Every structure is written in structure tokens, then in C-alpha cells.
């Protein structure tokens, strides 16, 4: 593995475990046994490391949202989609944990994050709409029904891992992910076709992230 990759790797681990601020250049370099000059050869500055990590997150995230939910959506794939998305959030938990601070310190990152978020919200709305079309779900009331459901899904999704960490859960287990998926489910539950819901929940309980 190249030094560049080792830097990214360690930065991710460190940030995930102790927060985004914990991975300072000095620490990364010394833990890796390389010089600070070396680190700064590969990355212009600290922000760039975060930006590159965000890029990989973004690529993976878009893939999850697009690949896994082509119509029509069967319940098992729907459940797997939730679990996959939480797995991703877990692997990049540093990002969600310190999001506000990261975006404040890096205007470019902020712009890119916001674009991704807008896209995700539209996509979640599209997926919900698809479920309605599939006949797996009744349409939420109100002009903005679907949009609101998508937004609540997003809010819970992006904060579930953070909530676990805040609550003092140090080791997070598959069951915790499943609990998060279940919370997401409960946003849609009142609108879901009972057979679809039952089947999806069973898939969730089986707990297979693919």
C-alpha cells in the first residue's frame, strides 16, 4: 500500500474512533512512522485529506442509493438497502459526527455535501414514490407528504449512528444497525402494505447486509 493510501486509511480510522479533530497531521505522520514533510507531499493540507475521504463516501453512497433500488422494489431488497446504507454511515461515522464543524471549516466541502444531500432527498422521495407505484405503500396525505417522509428518513438515517455514539454505545453491533433500520421503517410503516411490511421486517430480522 502506498504511503498516500496509508495516510487516508489511518486518518479514517483515527477520525472514526476519536472524532474528526483527533486526526491531526502530526499524529497521523508519527503513527505511520513517516515525516510531516512526507504527509504534506501527498496532501496539500489537512482539509484535503477529509475531502478525499468524503469523495469515497460520496461515491459509495450514490452507488447504494441507485443500484439497489430499481423498480419494482421487493421487501427483502428494501430491507437490505437500509442495512447497507447504515453500514456505510458506520464506516464513515466521523463525517456525520463532526459534520457541522467540518463544513464550517471548508466551504468547498460544504458545497459538495449540500449537493449530495439535495440529491439524496430527491432520490429518497423518488424511492418512496416508487413504493407507492408498486402498490407496496399508500400515498402519505398532503401535498408534501412524500417529501416530508423522505426528509424524516434522511434525518433519522444521518443521525442514527451519531445517536448511538452520543448515547455511549462504544461497540456497535449489527443489532444496533437493525434497530436503526427499524426506526427508519417506522417512518413509513403507517403507509406500508401489511404484507410488504411483514416481509421486509422479517428480512431485517434475518439481518443480512447484502
Partner DNA sequence: GTCTATTTAGAGGAAACACTCTAGAAGGAG
Partner DNA sequence: CTCCTTCTAGAGTGTTTCCTCTAAATAGAC
Q: Out of 5, 18, 67, 108, which residue is the one contacting a second copy (CB under 8 A)?
A: 18
What, of a second copy, DNA, none, does residue 100 touch, CB below 5 to 8 Å by kind? a second copy
CB of 162 vs DNA, minimal distance in Å:
22
Q: Does 148 help bind a second copy (rule: CB under 8 A)?
A: yes
Euclidean distance between the first and the last CA atom of the chain, given in angstroms as a whole number: 28
Q: Does 75 help bind a second copy (rule: CB under 8 A)?
A: no
Distance CA 158, CA 93 (A): 9
- Is the distance from CB of 22 to CB of 97 less than 8 angstroms? no
CA atoms within 13 A on the CB side of 1: 9
User: Exposure pattern of 151-170 as b/e (b: 16+ CB <10 Å)?
Assistant: eebbebbbbbbbebbeeeee
Q: Rule CB under 7 A: which residues touch DNA?
A: 2-4, 24-27, 33-38, 40-42, 44-47
C-alpha cell read off for 120? 439524496
Q: Out of 36, 71, 72, 190, which residue is the one contacting a second copy (CB under 8 A)?
A: 190
Residue with cell 443521525: 159
Q: Does 114 help bind a second copy (rule: CB under 8 A)?
A: yes
What, of DNA, a second copy, none, does residue 55 touch, CB below 5 to 8 Å by kind? none
Distance CA 143, CA 105 (A): 37
Which range of residues in 5-13, 29-37, 57-65, 158-166 is near a second copy by CB under 8 A? 158-166
Q: Which residues bind a second copy (CB under 8 A)?
A: 18-19, 21, 97-101, 103-104, 110, 113-114, 117, 140-141, 148-149, 151-152, 155-156, 158-160, 162-163, 165-168, 182-183, 186-187, 189-191
Amino acid at each position: 500500500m502506498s504511503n498516500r493510501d496509508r495516510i487516508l486509511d489511518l486518518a479514517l480510522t483515527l477520525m472514526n474512533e476519536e472524532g474528526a479533530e483527533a486526526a491531526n497531521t502530526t499524529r497521523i505522520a508519527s503513527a505511520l512512522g513517516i515525516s510531516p514533510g512526507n504527509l504534506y507531499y501527498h496532501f496539500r493540507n489537512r482539509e484535503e485529506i477529509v475531502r478525499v475521504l468524503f469523495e469515497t463516501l460520496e461515491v459509495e453512497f450514490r452507488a447504494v442509493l441507485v443500484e439497489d433500488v430499481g423498480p419494482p422494489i421487493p421487501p427483502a431488497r428494501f430491507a437490505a438497502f437500509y442495512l447497507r446504507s447504515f453500514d456505510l454511515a458506520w464506516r464513515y461515522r466521523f463525517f456525520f459526527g463532526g459534520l457541522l464543524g467540518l463544513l464550517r471549516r471548508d466551504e468547498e466541502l460544504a458545497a459538495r455535501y449540500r449537493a449530495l444531500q439535495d440529491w439524496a432527498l430527491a432520490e429518497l422521495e423518488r424511492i418512496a414514490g416508487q413504493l407507492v407505484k408498486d402498490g407496496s405503500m399508500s400515498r402519505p396525505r398532503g401535498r408534501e407528504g412524500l417529501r416530508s417522509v423522505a426528509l424524516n428518513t434522511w434525518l433519522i438515517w444521518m443521525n442514527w449512528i451519531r445517536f448511538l455514539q452520543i448515547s455511549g454505545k462504544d461497540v456497535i453491533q449489527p443489532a444496533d444497525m437493525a434497530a436503526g433500520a427499524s426506526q427508519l421503517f417506522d417512518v413509513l410503516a403507517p403507509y406500508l402494505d401489511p404484507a410488504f411490511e411483514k416481509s421486509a421486517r422479517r428480512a431485517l430480522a434475518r439481518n443480512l447486509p447484502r
